[in-house]
Amino acid sequence: MEDIVDQELSNYWEPSSFLQNEDFEYDSWPLEEAISGSYDSSSPDGAASSPASKNIVSERNRRQKLNQRLFALRSVVPNITKMDKASIIKDAISYIEGLQYEEKKLEAEIRELESTPKSSLSFSKDFDRDLLVPVTSKKMKQLDSGSSTSLIEVLELKVTFMGERTMVVSVTCNKRTDTMVKLCEVFESLNLKILTSNLTSFSGMIFHTVFIEFILALQFIC
């Protein structure tokens, strides 16, 4: 009566049949025509692409895609208890919630760790006399020491003039979130002619040494 195309239930779950060959290539779609070979053979219709039966193949593809995604979801979630379609999603949900909670916890911990450092007053003052600290520019204000969060906490700022053309700016600061990026942004925003720059991260600090062309620099810094 309606037992057309009735076979191909060799395995319980679709993905395991042909997907483990491609091994985690979920987005490659529509995965060639791996199935059609085993399916078109049983198609009784002479017309290759019957108008009605064009839907059933795309439906197959849709199901297959969904199963692929589900399989992929299962692979990124550790501690999968059951292979159930529903259980996979359930585990994924609780896993996501766990990650979100952990992330908040870690961020809070970081925020707490970053708020403690303080001090470092003594030697930053001591280094002042080392050589002229030109933190008068508007942009350079961002480098000001003692800033609480998300700003650059400068521990040492040393400027050395070499000859008449160049100066060497040496900055030591605590390594916080995206401190390197902010440092680079500050220097880039100054539109200086940077000859060479050197960034070293170590022991929770960042050592930055920049060689700057002098003539262009003065109008911005002083």
Partner DNA sequence: CAGAACACGTGAAGC
Partner DNA sequence: TGCTTCACGTGTTCT
Stretch that binds DNA, among 49-57, 160-168, 179-187, 214-222 (CB under 7 A): 49-57
Contacted by 69, from DNA, a second copy, none: CB < 5 to 8 Å by type: a second copy
Sites for DNA among residues 67-86 (CB under 7 A) = 67, 83-86
Both tokens assigned to 81: 């208890």
Smallest distance, Å, CB 112 to a second copy? 6
Please tell me whether residue 45 adopts helix, strand or coil conformation. coil
Contacted by 121, from DNA, a second copy, none: CB < 5 to 8 Å by type: a second copy
Amino acid type, 187: F
- Round to the nearest angstrom and report the end-to-end CA distance of the chain: 91
Q: What would the DSSP string read from start to end of 119-180?
A: --HHHHHHHHTTS-----STGGGGG-TT--SSS--EEEEEEEEETTTEEEEEEEEE--TTHH
Both tokens assigned to 8: 């191909």
Applying CB under 8 A, which of residues 5, 195, 216, 218 lies at the interface with a second copy? 195
Using CB under 7 A as the binding rule, whether residue 91 contacts DNA is answered as no
Q: What would the DSSP string read from start to end of 59-124?
A: HHHHHHHHHHHHHHHHHHSS------HHHHHHHHHHHHHHHHHHHHHHHHHHHHHHHS----HHHH
CB 18 within 8 A of CB 67: no
Sites for a second copy among residues 105-124 (CB under 8 A) = 106-107, 109-110, 112-124
Using CB under 8 A as the binding rule, whether residue 58 contacts a second copy is answered as no
CA dihedral 217, 164, 157, 219 (to 10 degrees): -20
Using CB under 8 A as the binding rule, whether residue 166 contacts a second copy is answered as yes
Write out the residues near a second copy by the rule CB under 8 A.
2, 62, 65-66, 69-70, 72-73, 76-77, 85-86, 89-90, 92-93, 95-97, 99-100, 102-103, 106-107, 109-110, 112-128, 156, 162-163, 166, 174-175, 177, 195-196, 198, 200, 202-205, 207, 209, 211
Write out the residues near DNA by the rule CB under 7 A.
2-6, 8-9, 12-15, 35, 39, 51-56, 58-60, 62-64, 66-67, 83-86
